[in-house]
Amino acid sequence: MSPDTESAAAPTREHRNIYQPIPMTVADRRDETADVRTLRLEFPGDAERTRFFEAYRVGQFGLYGMPGQGECVFCVASPPTRTDAIECTFRQAGRVTAALRDREVGQRITFRGPYGNHFPIEQWKGKNLLFVAGGIALPPLRAVIWNILDRRDEFGKVAILYGARTVADLVYKHELAEWDARDNVDLVQTVDPGGETDDWRGKIGFVPAVLEEVAPKPADTIALVCGPPIMIKFTLPVLAKLGFPAADTYTTLENRMKCGVGKCGRCNVGHLYVCKDGPVFTVEQLKAMPHADM
Amino acid sequence: MKILDASKLSDLADTLAGAGYRVVVPVQDGDRVRYAEWSPGATIRTDAFPVNSAKDFLFPRSEVIDRYQLDGDDFTPLEVRPPAPRTVLLAVRPCDAASLAMLDTIFNWDYEDDLYNARRAATTVVPLVCTRADAQCFCTSVGGAPDSSAGADALLHPADGGSRLILEPLTDKGKALVEAAGGALADGKAAPDAPADVPARFDPDKVRAWLADNFEADLWDLLSYACLGCGACAYACPTCHCFDMQDEATRTESVRLRNWDSCGFALFTKHAGGHNPRPDQAARWRNRVMHKFSYIPERFDLVGCTGCGRCARLCPAGMAMLEACTRIEEEARKAPAHES
Ligand code: FES
């Protein structure tokens, strides 16, 4: 095959190539726990930044990568109300996350997105919100929380229950303190029994049990739940028992992804593409899915 | 009517190659027949079923989709120029032409894949009507036909008892091809031969209705028992489009490759944390059947299978999609579900 035949018709950098990311500069990095890091990423220019924020809705994800290593899927952990940069928070679990973790301030990574669906927060105006998060799964909800707090007057009461195995495993500690100090946010933190420290002032207990104890009334309230599968498994029945309707309870799904744009065929759960129809689903949708596929 | 002697198909290939086309034809390759780029001296074989599908030339097995120069801790994006040569798929099977509707849809249903689209736009599709079919052919069960013009820019009809071919242009690309063929085609008359008789073997709507209710059926174990997870079916399949993205790098340059993949492989859905939502071959084979006969019909109103039978001809364990579908239909008849 001669590569140059009619190459004028082929896509180049000037043409559109949906698999080509843009370079982003690491503007800041923070260690959340021993193996969880947050990167703050700046866009290469105003055009890219504007294009991103015109499209971005909270709950969407991106592919973060290093040339030569590959790409990884994480949610965008910062809200669309903060438009100078984006943040992502991830646990080091393999080669790509190791490479991303090693980036220093001023160095670059690649980014594609935003992809997927989003939390329908415009439909939630005037409603109360209950956030339930476990461990490393706070980032997607953190983006929603800041989105709501940046537009605080448009929403009702905000309650947050966040739990982790140990105090050391809690992410975004500064922000937890900030939410705790606000009188228009009701934050409850908990750690698993044995995970507390001497000066721990939060609860001790598993998220589902603490939820049962502290949950607000379900009336006019949207519930958002993100956490490890085991936490989700035991939390959803509690929410149902407390009277939160499955259609008003939201979560996000993770599956292996490569393309992020509905082509590579890797992320489906039944006939749904997590990269296109998700990552945000209601519990009602979840119940209709073939569970063996998740 | 444009006609040529059936024995002169290679002259037509030569002429089109001379006119600047990359000519893809079924040729003898060792003891097999496969679609390959025409080169003078090759033997064109239209009497045997090619092992590969025509998708190889629109969605190659491996291709560079991104490139970088690596400079220590930084990188510079490099130009990516996937080749999109003017191509004719000549004397391919009607089921190959029919499969393009599926690929066109997947690569464009939301985000548009311009790498694929550039090659597709540069491709003229000229299937040859099948006058013979084998036991694995079931195009008529999935909306196709041995003389289907779906996806075709021009159609080749065997005529006069196989001694001649009629070339019937159907689109502007087809007309341009006839033009480019010039003297390799003659004006004349020939009587088209009857297409192959391919009896319909099952109803895909019945299969789809059963699939919707039977994700957990015991039948999956039985159907998938022989599966080795080798992925040969996916590689041969004209509609399988799953791919992996992999980086390869030297110290100074990296490329991102798109490589064919298969939901039949054990690692396909395995998470970094070790969890695999499709932990056994039954779950993986079920996904293959579900994807083609339930998920794709549901989302795109297409059947994700063209009935070409390649997967069955190639399977080292003797598994066949046709057999799975007829077995499922049988099951549906036994326990009539609420038909939708
Ligand atoms: S990640 Fe490729 S199809 Fe969803």
The C-alpha atoms of residue A239 and residue B166 are separated, in whole angstroms, by: 69
Q: Of A118, A149, A167, which residue sits at a domain end?
A: A118
**Domain extent at residue A108:** 6-118
Q: Whose CA is nearest to atom 3 of ligand 1?
A: A262
Q: How many CB atoms sit inside 10 A of residue B76's CB?
A: 12
Asked if A67 contacts B247 with a C-beta cutoff of 8 angstroms, the reply is: yes
Please give the structure tokens belonging to residue B82.
């996937």
Low-confidence ranges of chain A (pLDDT < 50): 1-14
Using the 8-state DSSP alphabet, how is residue A104 labeled?
P
In a shared domain, residues A194 and A264: yes
**A168 and A73 both lie in a single domain:** no
Residues A218 and A259 in one domain: yes
What global pTM score does this model have? 0.92
Return left, alpha or beta for B124; rule: phi > 0 is left, psi -120 to 50 is alpha, else beta.
Answer: beta
pLDDT (tens digit, 9 = 90+) per residue, B49-88?
999 999 999 999 999 999 999 998 999 999 888 889 999 9
Is residue A253 in a domain?
yes
Q: How many CA atoms lie within 13 A of B259 on its CB side?
A: 10
Would A30 be classed as within a structural domain?
Answer: yes
Cβ–Cβ below 8 Å for A292 and B215: yes
Q: What are phi and psi of A38, to 5 degrees?
A: -110, 135
CA distances from B90 to A3, B26, B131, B165 (A): 21, 8, 16, 12
The enclosing H or E element of A141 equals helix A138-149
At residue B116, does pLDDT exceed 50?
A: yes
- On the question of a cis peptide bond just before residue A114, with omega within 30 degrees of 0, the verdict is yes
CB contacts, 8 Å: A275 with chain B:
none
For residue B276, the CA-to-ligand 1 centroid distance in Å is: 16
CB-based contact B302:B241 (threshold 8 Å): no
- Measured between alpha carbons, how far is B28 from B95 in angstroms, rounded to an integer? 20
Closest residue in A to B80 (Cα–Cα): A12
A85/A132 same-domain check:
no
The token duo for A216 is 């607000």
Chain B residues 20-59 with CB within 8 Å of chain A: 20, 22, 37
One-letter amino acid for residue B187 of the chain: D
Final residue of a domain: which of A61, A93, A118?
Answer: A118
Q: Which residue of A has its CA nearest to B271?
A: A256
Instruction: Specify the pLDDT at position A289.
Output: 86
Question: A158 and A251 share a domain?
Answer: yes
**A128-134 and A221-226 as β-strands: parallel, antiparallel, unpaired?**
parallel
- Fill in the amino acid letter for A28: D
Does residue A140 sit within a domain? yes
pLDDT in tens, B256-312: 999 999 998 888 888 877 888 888 999 999 999 999 999 999 999 999 999 999 999
One-letter amino acid identity for A47? A
Residues A270 and A133 in one domain: yes
Tell me, what's the pLDDT at B275? 82
B273: contact with A, CB 8 A cutoff: yes
- When computed from its CA atoms, the radius of gyration of chain A, rounded to whole angstroms, is 20
CB-CB neighbors (< 8 A) of A2 in chain B: 83, 85
What six digits make up the tokens of B61?
A: 């097995």
Q: How far apart are the first and last CA of chain B?
A: 46
Nearest-atom index, ligand 1, CA of A263: 3
Q: Name which of A104, A264, A271 is nearest B295 (Cβ-Cβ).
A: A271
B254 has a chain A CB within 8 A of its CB: yes
Specify the 3-state DSSP secondary structure of A53: helix
Residue B15 tokens read as 């002429």
pLDDT in tens, B148-172: 999 999 999 999 999 999 999 999 9
Grade residue B183 by pLDDT with cuts at 50, 70 and 90. very high
pLDDT tens-digit map of B77-103: 998 888 899 999 999 999 999 999 999
Q: Are residues A107 and A163 in the same domain?
A: no
3-state secondary structure chain B: CEEEEHHHHHHHHHHHHHCCCEEEEEEEECCEEEEEECCCCCCECCCCCCCCCHHHHCCCCEEEEEEEEEECCEEEECCCCCCCCCEEEEEECHHHHHHHHHHHHHCCCCCCCHHHHHHHHCEEEEEECCCCCCCCCCHHHHCCCCCCCCCCCEEEEEECCCCEEEEEECCHHHHHHHHHHHHHCEECCCCECCCCCCCCCCCHHHHHHHHHHCCCCCHHHHHHCCCCCCCHHHHHCCCCCCEEEEEEECCCEEEEEEEECCCCCCCCCCCCCCCCCCCCHHHHHHHHHHHHHHHHHHHHCCCCCCCCCHHHHHCCCCCCHHHHHHHHHHHHHHCCCCCC
Residue A1: inside a domain, yes or no? no
User: Is residue A156 in a domain?
Assistant: yes
Mutate which: B71, B235, B242, B292, vs A, most A CBs within 10 A: B242
In the predicted structure, residue B32 carries a pLDDT above the cut 50 = yes
Structure tokens at A224: 């958002």
CB A152 within 8 A of CB A83: no
Inter-chain CB proximity A10 and B82 less than 8 Å: yes
Q: Which chain B residues have a beta carbon less than 8 Å from that of A44?
A: none
Answer for the pair A275, A116: CB distance below 8 angstroms, yes or no.
Answer: yes
Any idea what the CATH number is for the domain that residue A17 is in? 2.40.30.10
Q: How many domains does chain A have?
A: 2
Question: From B254, which residue of chain A is nearest by alpha-carbon distance?
Answer: A68
Which H, E and C letters describe A143-182, residue by residue? HHHHHHHCCHHHCCCEEEEEEECCHHHCCCHHHHHHHHHC
**Do A114 and A132 belong to one domain?**
no
Q: Which residues, including other chains, have CB under 8 Å from residue B121's CB and lie 6 or more apart?
A: A9, B84
Mark which of A118, A146, A177 sits at the end of a domain: A118
Residues A257 and A137 both lie in one domain: yes
Residue B334 has pLDDT above 90, yes or no: no
Residues A242 and A139 both lie in one domain = yes
How many helices and strands in chain A, by DSSP H and E? 7, 15
Q: Is residue A99 a part of any domain in this protein?
A: yes
pLDDT at A1: 35
Question: Is the domain of A148 the same as that of A43?
Answer: no
> Do residue A112 and residue A154 come from a single domain?
no
Residues forming a β-bridge with B255: B67, B248
Report yes or no: B264 and B285 within 8 Å, Cβ to Cβ. yes
**Token pair belonging to A166:** 């140990």
Distance, in Å, from the CA atom of A284 to the CA atom of A254, rounded to the nearest integer, reads: 17
Question: Is the minimum CB–CB distance between B323 and chain A shorter than 8 Å?
Answer: no
Task: Compute the nearest-CA separation of B340 from chain A (Å).
Answer: 16
Whether residue A294 is contained in a domain is answered as no
Rounded Cα gap, residues B66 and B80, in angstroms: 6
Is A293 within a domain? no
- β-bridge pairing A70-75 and A86-91: unpaired
- A71·B278 Cβ contact <8 A: no
Say which of A12, A107, A292 has its CB closest to residue B80.
A12
**Listing from the earlier edge strand, what are the strands of the sheet with A86-91?**
A70-75, A61-66, A108-115, A22-31, A36-42, A86-91
Looking up residue A243, the CATH number of its domain turns out to be 3.40.50.80
